Amino acid sequence: MDHLLESFGQRLKSERVKLSMTQSELAKELNISQMSISLYEANKSIPNLKFLYSLYPLGFNVEYLIFGENGLNQDRNFNLRSYYKKIATALDFLEQKLDTNISTETKIELIDFLLN
C-alpha cells in the first residue's frame, strides 16, 4: 500500500496535466491553496476524502488516483466509478423524497460512511 501513496502525487500531476490544468487553476477550482496541490504532487502531504471527492466532477479519474495504473484488484470485480454513480443517484433520490437540498459536506460524510 505504501507504494500507492508514494506514487499518488505523480498520478495526481499526470491527471491534472491531462486535463490541461495548472496547479493554480486546480487550486482555484477547489478553493484551496496552490501550495496544497504542490505538496500533494510532491507526496509531502496526503489529501483528505473531501479533496478526492471534489476532483471527480472536474474529470479526474479518482479510481486511478487512489489505486494506480491497474485500478482496483480485478479479482474483486468492483467498479468504483459505477459505485459512486449509484451513491450519487441514491442521494439525488433522497433529496427529491425529502424535498430538500443535501449539502456537499453531508454528501461527502454519507459517501465516507458507505465506503467505510
% of the chain exceeding 90 in pLDDT: 36
- 58, three cell numbers: 472536474
Total of domains in the chain: 2
Same domain? 63 vs 84: no
Same domain? 88 vs 62: no
Same domain? 21 vs 53: yes
pLDDT at 1: 44
Task: Determine the structural domain holding residue 94 and report its residue range.
Answer: 80-115
In one-letter notation, the amino acid at residue 57 is: P
Which contiguous run of DSSP H or E holds residue 60?
none
Q: Are 63 and 71 in contact (CB under 8 A)?
A: yes
Pick the more confident residue, 1 or 35: 35
| Least reliable range by pLDDT among 6-10, 33-37, 53-57 | 6-10
Same domain? 54 vs 89: no
Whole-model pTM? Answer: 0.60
pLDDT at 75: 39
